[in-house]
Amino acid sequence: MSGRIAIAGVGLIGGSFGLALKAAGYDGEIVGLGRDAERLAAAVRLGAIDRGETDAVAGVAGAEVVLLAVPMGSMRAVLAALAPGLEPGAIVTDAGSVKGSFVRDARAALGSLERVVPGHPIAGTEHSGVAAAFPELYAGRRVILTPLPETEEAGVVRVERLWRMTGACTERLSVEAHDRLLAATSHLPHMLAFGLVDALARGDDPGAVFRYAAGGFRDFTRIASSDPVMWRDICLANRDALLGALEAYRDDLDALTEEVRAGDGAGLLARFQRAKTARDRFCG
């Protein structure tokens, strides 16, 4: 495949996309868009992009595909900035964690959504920035696309082909199903990790708590090292679905609390066995 690709936001996600395409032999030009010229220069040195542009219109000029890999709170402003420079047939896609808000932002900034292909790679680490990018990030991982009724099939197929070049497998869901599922499996776990670490850090003796924390605590809270701005934006963008997941978890936590209070060993064992079976099946 060839043709110019523009990546708005060359951090972990956007940078890994560029690196993976280059590693797979993509021979079209990959242009990075961003506000910081030094970071773009670093992305060029790392091989994630071929050149960088701080002007959005110049950055998307001639691009056949434009990928937005910016925080959810920046999507609408970035879309509006690059809209005047889009080629008539350019495909616009994204890597955001919330699809409903991206669709609203794209509709507000671009009007027509015929060539808009909302997407979300289910991949990442707790690190951020292009220095954390690596070409294998998407290998064997899922990328969910949520095309709209008006989305042209040719654009969806083009985006699928690009993601498959990175080593990912693609699936299609509705916008609503994506946001509901990701609220439970991604957004809620991040909220729990952030919340637990924050609660302990504000406790009576946080130094002792963290000094004696073992591997289980480190494993459970790893994602609390993720970008706080990005996760604030995700929480607000997927607020309704996330609230539903939080409230359901709170009800279950109340039930767990009562089992501990009542000394209900049978209830606790049944809960733990169900969890172990489900987790082992998932990891297997």
pLDDT (tens digit per residue) in 30-46 = 999 999 999 999 999 99
Note whether 26 and 131 are same-domain residues.
yes
**How many structural domains does the chain have?**
2
Q: Which of 24, 41, 31 is nearest to 65 (CA)?
A: 31
- Can you give the residue range of the structural domain that contains 84? 5-173
Which pLDDT belongs to residue 1? 63
Q: Which residue has the higher pLDDT, 2 or 84?
A: 84
- Average pLDDT, stretch 111-121? 96
Using alpha carbons, list the distances in angstroms from residue 205 to 211, 226, 265: 10, 24, 31
Q: Where are the beta strands (DSSP E) in 26-178?
A: 30-33, 51-53, 65-68, 91-94, 116-117, 119-121, 142-145, 169-172
Do 13 and 148 belong to one domain?
A: yes
pLDDT at position 96 is 96
Q: pLDDT, tens digit, for every residue of 3-19?
A: 999 999 999 999 999 99
Average pLDDT (69-82) is 96
Query: b/e per residue, 123-157, with b = 16+ CB within 10 A?
Result: bbbeebebebbbbebbeebebbbbbbeebbeebbe
Q: Are both 186 and 108 inside the same structural domain?
A: no
> Are both 134 and 199 inside the same structural domain?
no
| 98 vs 245: CA distance, rounded Å | 15
Give the tens place of pLDDT for each residue, 127-170. Answer: 999 999 999 999 999 999 999 999 999 999 999 999 999 999 99
pLDDT, tens digit, 9 for 90 and up, residues 122-135: 998 889 999 999 99
Contact criterion met (CB below 8 Å) for 123 and 168 = yes
- 169 & 192 share domain: no
- Judge if 169 and 202 occupy the same domain: no
- Region of residue 9 (phi > 0: left; psi between -120 and 50: alpha; otherwise: beta): left
Same domain, yes or no, for 32 and 165? yes
Please tell me whether the overall predicted TM-score, pTM, comes out greater than 0.95 for this model. Answer: no
105 has a pLDDT exceeding 70 = yes
- Which tens digits make up the pLDDT trace of 243-260? 999 999 999 999 999 999
Give CA torsion, residues 128, 133, 138, 144, to 10 deg: 40
- Find all residues with CB under 8 Å of 2, minimum gap 6, and list them: 26, 27, 28
Return the CATH number at 182. 1.10.3660.10
User: Both 56 and 160 in a single domain?
Assistant: yes
Q: Which residue has the tokens 């064997």?
A: 140
192 with 169, same domain: the answer is: no
In this prediction, residue 2 carries a pLDDT of: 74
Answer with the one of 173, 190, 212 that is the final residue of a domain: 173
Together in a domain, 65 and 126: yes
Whether residues 24 and 64 share a domain: the answer is yes
pLDDT average, residue stretch 200-216: 90
Contact 165, 192 (CB under 8 A): no
Domain containing residue 110: CATH number: 3.40.50.720
**Rounded CA gap, 218 and 235, in Å?**
23
Pairwise CA distance, residues 52 & 196, whole Å: 39
Select from 148, 173, 198 the last residue of a domain: 173
The last residue of a domain, from among 139, 158, 173: 173
Confidence of residue 284 (pLDDT cuts 50, 70, 90): confident
167 lies in the same domain as 181: no
